[in-house]
Amino acid sequence: MTGVLVAALQVVVVAGGSPLLVGAMRQVRARLEGRAGPGVAQPWRDLRKLLRKEPLTPRGTTEVFRLAPVLLMATTLVVAAVVPFLTNATPLGPVADLFAVVALLSLGAVALALAGIDTGTAFGGMGASREVTIIALVEPTLLVAIFALSVRVGSTNLGDIVTSTLHDPALVISPVSLLAALAFAVAIIAETGRLPVDNPATHLELTMVHEAMVLEYAGPDLALVEWASAMRLAVFLGLLANLFAPWGIASLAGPLPVAVAVAALAGKVAVLGLALAVGEVFMAKLRLFRVPELLAGSFLLALLAVAASYFLA
Amino acid sequence: MLGLIGRIRRLGRVAEPAPPPPERSPAAVGLGGSVQVRHVDAGSCNGCEIEIGQAFGPVYDAERYGARLVASPRHADALLVTGPVTRNMAEPLRRTYEAVPEPRRVVAVGDCARNCGVFAGAYGVAGAVADVVPVDVQVPGCPPAPEAIVAVVRGLTGR
């Protein structure tokens, strides 16, 4: 019973906190650019307004276009419920398999890419083709990087990986962890559409990746897409934090360890998000044809991590 | 990179202090402190574009009041229309307006958008913005100062 409550709490924390994470990242960027910034709560104001707007679907679109935001949101919610964010013993633990979680997250991304094609506009198709190119290069890295951690545990369950790191803190600074963490971080930057792979603040259709796919969404559909995108960012950063530095996670039941876990998760994700936002100020977007080089590099790191996990075991 | 850190520290904050909030525009209803703006150039000389760029730049920083420029009319709540509407842009402007979900607002920026300005009577001009789509707010000036654009945007966001 308490497990169900904790899983529900995870969903609430991720859904409620992710717009604030995006707002904080935009605020940090604005301050470094000499602006005043709209405040941390601005994404929540945007979502509230979008949810109240008129739903509008462009002429000629099919069910693929209408279902994609729901599917994106649903897969993200499932992942937020099962992944070991607050406790390493959720009732849905067996679902928190590395392959299942990565597959669920890519299912949402692929649904959005199909919706981009479904609109039949030039930019929708172009964004979808770029997104699929990036997904095809990122997913292997995500899988292999987490797999490197699972080798020494002997299980692909994320909860087991977190538990083993908790019991043996020395694992955190092992070469396997460091290589895998680096590969995972680059893959997250590409998957969530941050600089230098994609610029989330661009208005130039020709340079867009994620934005180009969602150009035709309006009102509540757009709110779902933006909210789910923010949640995916929070989920990926939370995964990075908890797989490679799981301290603070609740291994015992009870309100106090869970409260500590919520604070630890929020702190870790906030630190990672703000570091990402600060890093973005110093970076320009990579040329699209250079992106595969970056992602191939991160895949190589992940592969080295797997090799190291066998040789150093 | 160190040079950039030094410049960021030296520069500090370039955004000017916010002037007192203007009177809340009746057009602000239903937007709740967040306005996504789509800019439509319906035939402008690009004078107004430079001023809009300044209004959303670091010094005037219209984003701090909850406004943001977006890339698609479907994401937008308000259209910033500049220039006299040329014959070729009349239909695209009408379609852009149709693509914006309700509640939607139209801001006519600059004298050309209000009454065709110096281009009145020219052979390529279809009319002012109000002749093509319903206009909610106007910003006078040729070109209007960024402060004036920011004040109108603040009227829409109500912040």
> Where do the domains of chain B lie?
33-157
With CA atoms as reference, the chain A residue closest to B35 would be: A46
Candidates A37, A208, A215; nearest CB to B74 = A215
Average pLDDT over residues A186-191: 92
Instruction: Read off the pLDDT of residues B28-64 as tens digits, 9 standing for 90 and up.
Output: 667 778 899 999 999 999 999 999 999 999 999 999 9
Interfacial B residues in 38-57 facing A (CB < 8 Å):
none
Between chains, do B58 and A42 touch, taking CB under 8 Å as contact?
A: no
Q: Cα angle vertex A7, ends A186, A45, to 5°?
A: 70
pLDDT of residue A223: 95
Question: Where do we find the tokens 């070469």?
Answer: A175
How distant is the Cα of A202 from the closest Cα of chain B, in angstroms?
8
Candidates B1, B15, B66; nearest CB to A34 = B15
Q: What is the 3-state secondary structure (H, E, C) of chain A?
A: CHHHHHHHHHHHHHHHHHHHHHHHHHHHHHHHCCCCCCCCCHHHHHHHHHHHCCCCCCCCCCHHHHHHHHHHHHHHHHHHHHCCCCECCCCCHHHCEHHHHHHHHHHHHHHHHHHHHHCCCHHHHHHHHHHHHHHHHHHHHHHHHHHHHHHHHCCCEHHHHHHHHHHCHHHHHCHHHHHHHHHHHHHHHHHCCCCCCCCCCCCCHHHCCHHHHCCCCCHHHHHHHHHHHHHHHHHHHHHHHHHHCCCCCECCCCHHHHHHHHHHHHHHHHHHHHHHHHHHHCCCCCCHHHHHHHHHHHHHHHHHHHHHHHHCC
**Cα–Cα distance, A262 to B71 (Å, whole number):** 36
Between chains, do B14 and A34 touch, taking CB under 8 Å as contact?
A: yes
Candidates B61, B75, B102; nearest CB to A36 = B61
Residue of A188, A167, A178 whose CA lies nearest to A308: A178
The separation between CA A273 and the C-alpha centre of its own chain, rounded to angstroms, equals 11
A233 vs A285, residue with greater confidence? A233
**Cα–Cα distance, A213 to A222 (Å, whole number):** 11
Residue pair B124/B86 in contact by the 8 Å Cβ criterion: yes
Question: Where do we find the tokens 């300005």?
Answer: B117
Q: At what angle do helices A42-52 and A2-32 cross, to 10 degrees?
A: 110
Residue A8 has pLDDT above 70, yes or no: yes
How distant is the Cα of B29 from the closest Cα of chain A, in angstroms?
11
Q: What is the DSSP letter of B157?
A: H
pLDDT of residue A87: 83
pLDDT of residue A295: 92
Residue pair A98/A306 in contact by the 8 Å Cβ criterion: no
Between chains, do A54 and B101 touch, taking CB under 8 Å as contact?
A: yes
Instruction: Read off the pLDDT of residues A94-112 as tens digits, 9 standing for 90 and up.
Output: 778 889 999 999 999 999 9
Burial of B23 (0-12, 13-18, 19+ CB in 10 A): exposed
Instruction: Read off the pLDDT of residues A265-287 as tens digits, 9 standing for 90 and up.
Output: 999 999 999 999 999 988 888 88
Question: Residue B93: helix, strand or coil by DSSP?
Answer: helix
Question: Where do we find the tokens 């300044």?
Answer: B54
Burial of A34 (0-12, 13-18, 19+ CB in 10 A): middle
A300 vs B7, residue with greater confidence? A300
ipTM metric? 0.90
pLDDT of residue A1: 59
Residue of B80, B98, B5, B1 whose CA lies nearest to B42: B80
Residues of B in contact with A211 (CB under 8 A): 71
Between chains, do B74 and A217 touch, taking CB under 8 Å as contact?
A: yes
Average pLDDT over residues A214-236: 94
What are residue B138's DSSP bridge partners? B108
* Mean residue pLDDT across chain B: 89
**Band of pLDDT at residue A230, cut at 50, 70 and 90:** very high
> For each of chain B's 159 residues, which pLDDT tens digit applies?
778 888 888 888 888 888 887 776 676 667 778 899 999 999 999 999 999 999 999 999 999 999 999 989 999 999 999 999 999 999 999 999 999 998 899 999 999 999 988 998 899 999 999 999 999 999 999 899 999 999 999 988 888
Cα distances (Å, whole numbers) of residue A202 to A49, A227, B72, B88: 21, 18, 11, 27
Cα distances (Å, whole numbers) of residue A216 to A86, A121, A170, A222, B89: 36, 9, 49, 9, 21
- Which token pair is A6? 């904790």
**Cα–Cα distance, B27 to B137 (Å, whole number):** 8
**What values do phi and psi take at A98, rounded to 5?**
-60, -40
Tell whether B2 lies on the interface with A, counting CB pairs under 8 A: no
Tell whether B29 lies on the interface with A, counting CB pairs under 8 A: no
**Cα–Cα distance, A129 to A96 (Å, whole number):** 29
The pTM of this model reads 0.93
Residue A29 has pLDDT above 70, yes or no: yes
Q: Which of B35, B69, B72 has the most A C-beta neighbours within 10 Å, making it the best mutation to test the interface with A? A: B72
pLDDT of residue B19: 82
pLDDT of residue B12: 82
pLDDT of residue A313: 64
Candidates A45, A202, A203; nearest CB to B34 = A45
How distant is the Cα of A46 from the closest Cα of chain B, in angstroms?
5
Residue A227 has pLDDT above 80, yes or no: yes
**Band of pLDDT at residue A16, cut at 50, 70 and 90:** very high
Residue A146 has pLDDT above 80, yes or no: yes
Q: How many CA atoms lie within 13 A of A199 on its CB side?
A: 18
With CA atoms as reference, the chain B residue closest to A206 would be: B71
Residue A74 has pLDDT above 80, yes or no: yes
Percentage helix, strand, coil, to 5, in chain B?
40, 20, 40
CATH of domain B33-157: 3.40.50.12280
| Percent of chain A at pLDDT exceeding 90 | 53
pLDDT of residue A246: 86
Residues of A in contact with B18 (CB under 8 A): 36
Residue A2 has pLDDT above 90, yes or no: no
How distant is the Cα of B7 from the closest Cα of chain A, in angstroms?
10
Least confident of A76-80, A181-185, B8-12, B99-103: B8-12
With CA atoms as reference, the chain B residue closest to A38 would be: B64
Q: Which of B36, B40, B69, B75 has the most A C-beta neighbours within 10 Å, making it the best mutation to test the interface with A? A: B75
Q: Which of A26, A27, A31, A46 has the most B C-beta neighbours within 10 Å, making it the best mutation to test the interface with B? A: A46
pLDDT of residue B53: 92
